[in-house]
Amino acid sequence: MENQEYSVGLDIGTTKIVAIVGRRNAHGKIEILGVGKAKSLGVHKGIVNNISQTINSIKSAVAEAQSSAGVPISKVTVGIAGKHIRSLQHSDYIMRDHPDQYITEEDIEKLKDQVKKLVMLPGEEIIHVLPQDYKVDSEGEIQEPVGMHGKRLEANFHVVVGQMGSIRNIARCVREAGLEMEALTLEPLASSEAVLTKEEKEAGVAIVDIGGGTTDIAIFKDNIIRHTCVIPYGGGIITDDIKEGCSIIEKHAEQLKVKFGSSVPELEKDSTYVTIPGLHGRPDKEISLKVLAQIINARVEEILEMVNTELKAYGAFEQKKKLIAGIVLTGGGSNLRNLRQLANYTTGFDSRIGFANEYVANDKNQYLKGPEFATSIGLLMESLKIRDKKMLVTEEEIIEELKPQIENSIQAQTQTHSQEIQMPQVQNDIVEMAKQKAEVKKNRPTFGQSLMDKVKKFFEEVEE
């Protein structure tokens, strides 16, 4: 299998590391080729604090993914989170040298590159520069400026910033695990790709991804990213509370949380108990499920209040910024029973659990349905988008290289009266030449209809 046929998402979480290998099928859905999962050692609240342990965990997850997929893994798209992440709003502009020519993707990239040169606080680095809306000359609130004419191109940006040390530690772990980091993506943005619909992003929605070490938030309105943040608490601190509150070991605390945990104590009966085996001959311990729910409820309410603070910071309770689609809960922490009801009550917004398998074509055993896979599937989707964009650039490069042949063919067609030269035949010849060039470049296995369409479009432009 050619390397360009598939992509890999690598989620370096606090409790687990997941590597997912996949490709896009003929219908645009994602076909999962393999999944690898390993216990995350060396990561605390989304931040690497033990390099060698993290490298070993990455190697273990990637090896399992390689084995199940039957393909070698060399490039990965990696997620980043942690309490060091912050975001800011920024406006910037460029003056175009040739306003008579239409705006291209190159102009957009030039504007983004200018924003990336912003001076940050000491030790900080820009992770994402996300355009929100554009202004061309005096015309504002433009979503897609490509193809328009204008001298001044301006945009409002959502800029995501992180600590340089944390970013470099992740990069080092990936590199020393024998992998190349294709891209670094903020985890709530990756999760939103996997669980949010376009309609929700347009109506206004907040994704709340409750992971093991952090709770990641991303807010969308009018299909534009409006706010991102990372809360340094997740499912791990709930487990710690159970361990301390019930005086049991961490392993039993995690099992209690997963199997019997509830976010709403009022829904639990006073008479229901669960037995925990005693250590080294000590007597078994009985724990009330209502007491367990009270411990969980106290911490979950605290996390949801922090979510509420971020919603207020964005302005979600204002009429113009109201989140009509409410909240989507995802991540492993969203598996807690009755969490949705508590979120509804605490925030005042309707909520749902976001499952990550909506875009997956071959998850017949529902293994990837769990919301804990939202980030890793989102990272895979981001990797596929990067690959698709590179392929598109390659097609444009090939068309550019073939322009002289196409123009000569058109000229021959217009200068001859012979019926032997037919335009369809010339087009087909050019397409075949393009396919041969593509094979030489080794940039994708087949070009198919998209390349044919581009060649025909160029023919039409030359004929006009």
* CATH code of 94's domain: 3.30.1490.110
pLDDT tens readout for residues 245-291 = 999 999 999 999 999 999 999 999 888 999 988 888 788 889 999 99
Q: Is the model more confident about 2 or about 220?
A: 220
Same domain, 347 and 392: no
Burial class of residue 349 (count of CB atoms within 10 Å of its CB; 0-12, 13-18, 19+): buried
Task: Please check whether residue 288 lies inside any domain of the structure.
Answer: yes
Q: Indicate whether 189 belongs to any domain.
A: no
Q: Which of 309, 330, 354 is the last residue of a domain?
A: 354
Mean pLDDT for the stretch of residues 403-407:
67
Q: How far is CA 89 from CA 137, 227, 244, in A?
A: 21, 9, 41
Does the residue 424 lie in any domain? yes
- pTM for this prediction: 0.82
Q: Do 416 and 281 belong together in one domain?
A: no
Check pLDDT > 50 for residue 96.
yes
State the alpha helices, DSSP H only, in 177-249: 187-195, 198-203, 235-246
Establish if 79 belongs to a structural domain. no
Q: Are residues 156 and 211 in the same domain?
A: no
Q: Are 392 and 306 contained in the same domain? A: no
| Co-location of 312 and 438 in the same domain | no
- Give yes or no for a contact between 111 and 95, defined as CB atoms under 8 angstroms apart: no
Based on the domain organization, do 217 and 344 belong to the same domain? Answer: yes
Output the pLDDT for position 280.
80
Residue 103 lies in a domain: yes
Is residue 335 located within the same domain as residue 276? Answer: yes
Q: DSSP character for 151?
A: S
Of 42-56, 57-71, 267-281, least confident by mean pLDDT is 267-281
Indicate the residue among 332, 354, 376 that finishes a domain.
354
Residue-averaged pLDDT of the chain: 86
* Structure letter (DSSP) for residue 36: E
Q: Quick check: is 63 in a domain?
A: no
Residues 348 and 416 in one domain: no
Q: Read off the CATH number of the domain in which 302 is found.
A: 3.30.420.40
Tens of pLDDT along 4-14? 578 999 999 99
Which range of residues forms the domain containing residue 312? 197-354
96 and 220 inside one domain: no
For the chain, the domain total comes to 3
332 in a domain, yes or no? yes
Residue 137 in this model has a pLDDT that exceeds 50: yes
Q: Are residues 208 and 294 in the same domain?
A: yes
Contacts of 296 (CB under 8 A, 6+ apart): 238, 241, 242, 257, 261, 262, 263, 336
Q: What are the percentages of helix, strand and coil residues in the chain, rounded to 5?
A: 45, 25, 30
Q: Which two tokens stand for residue 355?
A: 């499952």
Q: Are 312 and 412 part of one and the same domain? A: no
State residue 199's pLDDT score.
95
Distance CA 206, CA 416 (A): 63
* Cα(170)–Cα(78) distance, integer angstroms: 9
136 lies in the same domain as 215: no
Residue at 243 is within a domain: yes
Residue 384 has pLDDT above 70, yes or no: yes
